[in-house]
Chains A and B, each alone.
Chain A
Amino acid sequence: MKRYETVYDVMVIGAGFAGMAATLFAAERGLSVAQAGATGGIDFSTGFLDLMAVHPVAEGRYWDSPWDAVDAVIRDVPGHPYARLGKECIRTALDDFTTFLASQKLEYLGHADRNTPVFSPAGTVKRTFRVPRTAWKGTEALRDKAPTIIVDFHGLKGFSGPQIVEMQKQQWPDLKTARLAFPGSIGELYPEHMAWTLSAPERCAELAKAVAEHARNVEYIGFPAVLGLNDPVRTVSLLEELTGRHVFEIPTLPPSITGPRLRATFDRGLAPRGVCTFSQKMVLNARRADDGLFSFQIGAAGDVRTVRARNAILASGRFFGKGLLAHRDGVIEPIFNIPVTQPSSRTQWHTERFFARQGNALNLSGIEVDDRQRPLGTNGAVLHDNLFAAGAILAHHDWMRMKCGAGIAIATAYHAVRSMIDSGSKG
């Protein structure tokens, strides 16, 4: 088959934020791209694009300006991935990324120089850099403490209106909640099915009718993020039209539909750019010939195929994405066997309190790269001049606690692609 015979300019290993971003940037620059990986991180995303919000994590200090936060983190943590990039690179990367999403009907909003407070599924407030249009009005309601109702549904797990109200009632007396029956269902509910259901205008009309009596005295209605799958803006607009109120979404607990929306956007947008996606195929191992050509074995035991590429971008994530494997005696990188910076012994992986605010040392482990995103070997030298790395697999960051996951993924992917092109990728 042709897709297995082609020699690609670049093989992107990973299909999370970093993998998708690297694939996008490389394809937009005219490279032939193959991409392999499981539907990992991106499916579990809240849909928000974090840039940098918390530093130092031990203090839990929130920053209004992500750029000041970046400056601070670079100063305090010289190994942090942002330290190699420069703000201009980060800004351009995020702009390119959101421009692509907007072209695929997934528009993002936010401020140029500051973070925006948003609801988390638990009713807490966090700060993020870019927000999907369908969630944006929630940030306005939150800012103005406007009269708002949070709607949830019988049978939907992972989203509770009363919990959100409980978390906010001190500072937001005009926030209330109502629990409704979801149109056409009597049992447990799952976000994707609800999103499909609400893609139908008739169902939206039923929902609007059910909401109406609870929404007489409010300006905003907040729903769990189930308002349509491929064109949520249309569903939200329709509901606004039907209810006469501002409507916004709050992501549900992962996996929230906001993740599959992002992935579906890439599925739609990357194929026309000539990307060859090996969906749900894992890279099992890699060989590099003397002339630098990579051969990857992809698939699963019993169904293994070979794909060849002149360059590779390793964006396989950390533990959940299987970019790093935690063995009894240490953490390894399984594909290229790149040395992993990690705590010196297993006893130091975690603090005694797993959820301690300062985080666990294991979550700073990862691989080391040079200024051009090329992984380093044991002696500190570049491992291969045509191998690059991006995203969470890099060492010296705790993206979950620092709230910098999407930013690191997108910006380092951008830098990796740029470095690859500078070093003459077409071979």
Chain B
Amino acid sequence: MTVFRLLLVSAVCLCLAGIIRRYARRLSGSALPRQDRSRGRTPWQITHILLHLPVTLITDVLLLRRTLRTSPYRWVMHALTLSGFTGLLLFHALDDVVSRPFIAGYESTLDPWQWLRNLLGGLVVAGCLMALVRRLRTRGLRPATRLQDWLFMGMVAGIVLSGFALEATKIISPNVFNRMTDTYFVPESDADIPALQAFWSARNGVRFSPPAGTDAELIARGAELHADNCSYCHADTSSAFLSRALATAISPAADALNAAQTDAFFWFLHVGLALAGLALLPYGKFLHPVATPLNLVLRNRRHDAATIPDTATAARLGFEACTRCGECSLHCSVAPHFAAMGNPNILPSEKLVSLRKHAAGALDTSAINALAEGSRICTECMRCTDICPSGINLQDLWLSSKQALRQQALDGPNTTIRQCTATQWAEVLRTQGASRFEQVRGNGLADRAESFWGCVQCTTCTSVCPVVAVSEAPAKDLDLTPQQIMNLLRMGLKDQTLAARMVWSCTTCYKCQEHCPQNIQVADILFELRQIATERLRERDLTACPLPGPSAPARAPMDNALPHPAPKGSSGDPA
């Protein structure tokens, strides 16, 4: 018991320390700058939430209404795990504070409790199995699955499976039998113990060494002794249907297992895992059993992006409430971009993780750039917000974080490239040379002479271009027109074209390509140029023009003006 107390106290301390550390960091590190939309707590909003509290608790928290919207499979999976684990937590783990005080005659080894425990454990194991199958079989979910997801799943399953193993090894253990008889049984004759052994062996699966007698008379005598002495506290182990089945399965190796005191090992494993879960509670997915229900109550059954009282707290809760189920990423409308680009920050569930780290100031420059890129690709289509089973107001988070990243001058290459003239960028990009992307891919359309062989500079591409059309003065607004870009490329002056605002303003409507009398892939080439420039900027983490802007007076010499790549983390601290 003292060992248990020691472990329990340690786990509780670790848990508390984790919570304190987390909130201390929040307060000092300051979360992302938020948009000031003058949203304060209003009494009416609070009253509104309180009025709806009972309904929300039943539908969203207990009946998992939002989870059912994602898929019946997930609902069954989560309902099994939630009901099983909650039941075990209340009536088994906390039996000293819940079961014993409130249920007369409670004994963990009596029915229905013994039977119920196996049932609840069975539900959890079934739920975990379904979760495992889902993680492995759902296409698109693998990239949204991290170590913490496997850890959490393993922890829940591990606690319950080790419990079954503990119960099974106790069932077969003569040591446990002896400990009980030594403590609670006063034999009247020398024949009593063998008789009781014979009964427990035959009826309840204890494996003695040497084996207990199998004589019917002896067992009958044991049954009488059992009825008089043990049955007040012990139902048949057969009611622990799963553990007993496991005990039967392992009984051929019973002697070895008993000799090795496996039951003691499983006790440590079971208790250790449960306490480790408690200690990990403040971290990542482990907090969701606390944070998600709170968030669901605050969200008040809404699916839109409407804001809720005290936005800062609500947003923080949103961070914590993520169960990492991955549904947002499965429903994300720009998920195909992830397939093409491989930046996990495109997926909402992964972006949320980065955002949480960023808020804690734990991202380096490249990681922040990757986060900014993922944020920009988001189209704010609301699908993630609508589907989130935890009811997180993701839309609100994305809007704030996008703006915050923009304020940190992380508005993407389209903004960066417009900070200098095309000619200035041509210098910078030429000095930098081909990016790894270009080297790996080899010659693209823009590099191949045959792409332009047919070009007669007829201006058809420019004449049909809607971007040129909306420009009052194309030379001033766009630097170059499509046919001029084709001409420069033909002369091998690719660097001169990379930052032309025509390239960056192209809507890829493909009119130029559709009209080109020589079938030149004009739109594809413009898009390729933009990609090449993006890769070159990305490779050097260039989020601002290293030269003075077009309006600035004199331009510093190239060598002095080019910055050395910023050391990791130096510019990573959020504003």
Please report which residues of chain A, range 183-240, place their CB below 8 angstroms from some CB of chain B when the two chains form the complex: 184-188, 190-193, 196
Please determine whether A187 and B458 come into contact, CB atoms closer than 8 angstroms: no
Chain B residues whose CB sits within 8 angstroms of the CB of A282 once the complex forms: 519
B403 on the interface (CB 8 Å rule)?
no
Please determine whether A191 and B463 come into contact, CB atoms closer than 8 angstroms: yes
Chain B residues whose CB sits within 8 angstroms of the CB of A300 once the complex forms: 519
Chain A residues whose CB sits within 8 angstroms of the CB of B53 once the complex forms: none
Please determine whether B473 and A193 come into contact, CB atoms closer than 8 angstroms: no
A341 on the interface (CB 8 Å rule)?
no
A43 to B460, CA, bound (A): 9
A282 to B454, CA, bound (A): 14
Chain A residues whose CB sits within 8 angstroms of the CB of B516 once the complex forms: 38-39, 280
A44 on the interface (CB 8 Å rule)?
yes
Chain B residues whose CB sits within 8 angstroms of the CB of A38 once the complex forms: 516-519
B289 on the interface (CB 8 Å rule)?
no
Please determine whether A193 and B519 come into contact, CB atoms closer than 8 angstroms: no
Measured between C-beta atoms, what is the minimum distance from A354 to chain B in Å? 16
Please determine whether A196 and B469 come into contact, CB atoms closer than 8 angstroms: yes
Please determine whether B517 and A187 come into contact, CB atoms closer than 8 angstroms: no
Please report which residues of chain B, range 445-478, place their CB below 8 angstroms from some CB of chain A when the two chains form the complex: 456, 458-460, 462-464, 468-469, 471-477
Chain B residues whose CB sits within 8 angstroms of the CB of A41 once the complex forms: 517
Please report which residues of chain B, range 269-314, place their CB below 8 angstroms from some CB of chain A when the two chains form the complex: none
Please determine whether A187 and B476 come into contact, CB atoms closer than 8 angstroms: yes
Measured between C-beta atoms, what is the minimum distance from B441 to chain A in Å? 15
A79 on the interface (CB 8 Å rule)?
no
A320 to B285, CA, bound (A): 65
B538 on the interface (CB 8 Å rule)?
no
B513 on the interface (CB 8 Å rule)?
yes
Please report which residues of chain A, range 137-190, place their CB below 8 angstroms from some CB of chain B when the two chains form the complex: 184-188, 190
Given contacts A44-B517, A192-B464, A320-B517, contact A255 B459 (CB under 8 A): yes
B514 on the interface (CB 8 Å rule)?
yes
A106 to B456, CA, bound (A): 28
A254 on the interface (CB 8 Å rule)?
yes
Most B CB contacts (10 A, CB to CB) among A38, A184, A186, A279 go to A38
Please determine whether B515 and A39 come into contact, CB atoms closer than 8 angstroms: yes
Q: Mark A284-302, 1 if CB is under 8 A from B, else 0.
A: 0000000000000000100
Q: Mark B481-524, 1 if CB is under 8 A from A, else 0.
A: 10000000000000000000000000000000111111100000
A320 to B455, CA, bound (A): 10
Instruction: Closest B residue to A193 by CB, please name it.
Output: B469
Given contacts A38-B516, A43-B517, A44-B517, contact A187 B475 (CB under 8 A): yes
Measured between C-beta atoms, what is the minimum distance from B457 to chain A in Å? 11
Most B CB contacts (10 A, CB to CB) among A40, A192, A282, A300 go to A192
Please determine whether B519 and A280 come into contact, CB atoms closer than 8 angstroms: yes
A354 to B285, CA, bound (A): 79
Instruction: Closest B residue to A190 by CB, please name it.
Output: B463
Measured between C-beta atoms, what is the minimum distance from B509 to chain A in Å? 13
Measured between C-beta atoms, what is the minimum distance from A335 to chain B in Å? 15
Instruction: Closest B residue to A15 by CB, please name it.
Output: B517
Measured between C-beta atoms, what is the minimum distance from B478 to chain A in Å? 9
Interface on chain A toward B: helix, strand, loop, or mixed SS?
Answer: loop
Which of B458, B463, B477 is the one whose CB lies under 8 Å from A193? B463
Chain B residues whose CB sits within 8 angstroms of the CB of A40 once the complex forms: 517
Chain B residues whose CB sits within 8 angstroms of the CB of A196 once the complex forms: 469
A21 to B468, CA, bound (A): 32
Residue total for A at the interface (Cβ-Cβ under 8 A):
24
Q: Mark B100-131, 1 if CB is under 8 A from A, else 0.
A: 00000000000000000000000000000000
Chain B residues whose CB sits within 8 angstroms of the CB of A188 once the complex forms: 473-475, 481
A44 to B475, CA, bound (A): 25
A39 to B476, CA, bound (A): 30
Q: Mark A257-290, 1 if CB is under 8 A from B, else 0.
A: 0001000000000000000000110100000000
A185 to B473, CA, bound (A): 7
A339 to B481, CA, bound (A): 41
A41 to B456, CA, bound (A): 13
Instruction: Closest A residue to B510 by CB, please name it.
Output: A280
A254 to B464, CA, bound (A): 14
Chain A residues whose CB sits within 8 angstroms of the CB of B475 once the complex forms: 187-188
Please determine whether B513 and A190 come into contact, CB atoms closer than 8 angstroms: no
Please determine whether B514 and A280 come into contact, CB atoms closer than 8 angstroms: yes
Please determine whether A280 and B513 come into contact, CB atoms closer than 8 angstroms: yes
Given contacts A39-B517, A254-B458, A280-B513, contact A187 B463 (CB under 8 A): no
Chain A residues whose CB sits within 8 angstroms of the CB of B481 once the complex forms: 188
Chain A residues whose CB sits within 8 angstroms of the CB of B518 once the complex forms: 38
A192 to B513, CA, bound (A): 15
Which of A44, A187, A190, A320 is the one whose CB lies under 8 Å from B473? A187
A255 to B462, CA, bound (A): 11
Instruction: Closest A residue to B470 by CB, please name it.
Output: A193
Measured between C-beta atoms, what is the minimum distance from B500 to chain A in Å? 15
A40 to B454, CA, bound (A): 12
Which of A184, A185, A255, A279 is the one whose CB lies under 8 Å from B458? A255
Please determine whether B459 and A190 come into contact, CB atoms closer than 8 angstroms: yes
Please determine whether A190 and B468 come into contact, CB atoms closer than 8 angstroms: yes
Most B CB contacts (10 A, CB to CB) among A39, A191, A193, A254 go to A193
Instruction: Closest B residue to A157 by CB, please name it.
Output: B459
A43 to B461, CA, bound (A): 12
Instruction: Closest A residue to B473 by CB, please name it.
Output: A187
Measured between C-beta atoms, what is the minimum distance from A378 to chain B in Å? 29
Chain B residues whose CB sits within 8 angstroms of the CB of A192 once the complex forms: 463-464, 469
Chain B residues whose CB sits within 8 angstroms of the CB of A279 once the complex forms: 514
Chain A residues whose CB sits within 8 angstroms of the CB of B474 once the complex forms: 187-188
A255 to B517, CA, bound (A): 10
Chain A residues whose CB sits within 8 angstroms of the CB of B456 once the complex forms: 320
A188 to B484, CA, bound (A): 13
Instruction: Closest B residue to A16 by CB, please name it.
Output: B517
Chain B residues whose CB sits within 8 angstroms of the CB of A190 once the complex forms: 459, 462-463, 468-469
Please determine whether A44 and B471 come into contact, CB atoms closer than 8 angstroms: no
A6 to B309, CA, bound (A): 62
Which of A43, A44, A193 is the one whose CB lies under 8 Å from B468? A193
Measured between C-beta atoms, what is the minimum distance from B512 to chain A in Å? 11
Measured between C-beta atoms, what is the minimum distance from A72 to chain B in Å? 33
Measured between C-beta atoms, what is the minimum distance from B479 to chain A in Å? 12
Please determine whether B463 and A255 come into contact, CB atoms closer than 8 angstroms: yes
Measured between C-beta atoms, what is the minimum distance from B483 to chain A in Å? 10
Chain B residues whose CB sits within 8 angstroms of the CB of A44 once the complex forms: 458, 517
Measured between C-beta atoms, what is the minimum distance from B110 to chain A in Å? 70
Please determine whether B472 and A43 come into contact, CB atoms closer than 8 angstroms: no
Chain B residues whose CB sits within 8 angstroms of the CB of A39 once the complex forms: 460, 514-517
Measured between C-beta atoms, what is the minimum distance from B452 to chain A in Å? 15
Which of A185, A255, A260, A320 is the one whose CB lies under 8 Å from B472? A185
A300 to B477, CA, bound (A): 34
A192 to B470, CA, bound (A): 12
A38 to B519, CA, bound (A): 6
Most A CB contacts (10 A, CB to CB) among B456, B474, B477 go to B474
Please report which residues of chain A, range 243-265, place their CB below 8 angstroms from some CB of chain B when the two chains form the complex: 254-255, 260
Please report which residues of chain A, range 372-390, place their CB below 8 angstroms from some CB of chain B when the two chains form the complex: none
Interchain residue pairs A-B with the least CB separation, the first 7 = A187-B473, A190-B463, A193-B469, A192-B463, A38-B519, A186-B473, A255-B460
> What are 29 A-B residue pairs whose CB atoms fall within 8 Å in the complex?
A39-B517, A43-B460, A43-B515, A44-B458, A44-B517, A184-B472, A186-B473, A187-B472, A187-B473, A187-B474, A187-B475, A187-B477, A188-B473, A188-B474, A188-B475, A188-B481, A190-B459, A190-B468, A191-B463, A192-B463, A192-B469, A193-B468, A255-B463, A279-B514, A280-B516, A282-B519, A300-B519, A320-B456, A320-B517
Q: Which residues of A contact B (CB under 8 A)?
A: 38-41, 43-44, 184-188, 190-193, 196, 254-255, 260, 279-280, 282, 300, 320
